[in-house]
Structure 1
Amino acid sequence: MVKLSNTEIRKLDDAARAGWLYYVAGKTQDEIAKKLNISRQSAQRMVALSVSQGLIKVRLDHPIAKCMDLAQKTKKSFWFSIV
């Protein structure tokens, strides 16, 4: 297991807060920026970091999700694009 520095831990904590505010609380990037006292661009980067680090996971609970997953797997298997 990789040990994170205090700076890296704080960065992930801030990303988790920004991700929660965006995806759960429904706040805009501008609102997040004001609340966390950062620029809107920094808020956007934190939200993106929360997703890329697996802190935020999106799940679609609908039958179409299985079709989309199958389409993606087929595309990868046969090297063609789906229109």
Structure 2
Amino acid sequence: MRGGRRRAAEPPGNRDLGFARHSPGDPEDWRERFVEAYDQEFREWIAAASEGTAGGPSTWDGYAATLVADAALRAVSSGGLEPVNMIPKPTL
């Protein structure tokens, strides 16, 4: 799926415990849950690259992700919502 976003399916048996979720069958780390999504992403990238159209995250995407991660860390410390303050997107 090019140019779109997918939401990873929730593993069966999750229970909402407030801030965190827990399932007795949760994998030990992210690899088991996301391996197929990463494999699919690589297959799509290779197919696009063979057509000369491979894309991917931009510098703007990296900037936005960094600001979101920073706000998330502030929220952990403050216990509240933290703003994500972005400059207007320049022509890159």
Structure 1 length normalisation: TM-score? 0.30
Q: Greater helix percent: which structure?
A: 1
Q: Greater strand percent: which structure?
A: 2
